[in-house]
């Protein structure tokens, strides 16, 4: 592996991931990032089998940096997904509250109409 090539590949993957966040479901992106992290970890483990190889050590360090970057992206996506989920739950809670309030008033007006 060529270190410059790996750095370029990492930059392209990061840009692609950022572009993907605009077009895809966060859960899908989280899955993709998790898979990419797993692949990079396996590559780093393979390089660790030859600790005397200086290029291998540099490549492992580069892979570890890529893994850290992907974990940061993963964390940001999980936060985004959590915020979206909370917004959805808050909206649902508010809608149910309004509906319950309206149903209560409707039931009261029906009861008053029945008495009169």
Span 80-110, pLDDT tens digits: 888 888 887 777 777 777 777 777 777 787 7
What per-residue confidence (pLDDT) applies to 9? 61
Find out whether 21 and 29 touch, Cβ atoms under 8 Å: yes
Number of domains in the chain: 1
Residue that has been written with the tokens 């029945």 in this structure: 114
Segments forming the whole domain that contains residue 47: 3-115
What per-residue confidence (pLDDT) applies to 21? 46
Per residue in 33-75, pLDDT tens? 999 999 999 999 998 888 788 888 899 999 999 999 999 999 9
Is 78 or 7 the better-scoring residue by pLDDT? Answer: 78
What are the counts of helices (DSSP H) followed by strands (DSSP E) for the chain? 3, 0
């Amino acid at each position: 592996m060529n270190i410059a090539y790996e750095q370029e590949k990492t930059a392209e993957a990061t840009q692609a991931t950022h572009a993907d966040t605009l077009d895809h479901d966060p859960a899908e992106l989280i899955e993709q990032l998790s898979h990419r992290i797993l692949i990079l970890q396996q590559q780093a483990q393979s390089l660790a089998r030859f600790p005397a190889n200086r290029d291998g050590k540099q490549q492992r360090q580069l892979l570890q940096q890529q893994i850290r970057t992907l974990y940061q992206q993963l964390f940001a996506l999980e936060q985004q997904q959590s915020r979206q989920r909370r917004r959805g739950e808050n909206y649902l809670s508010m809608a149910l509250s309004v509906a319950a309030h309206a149903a209560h008033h409707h039931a009261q007006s029906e009861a008053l109409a029945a008495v009169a």
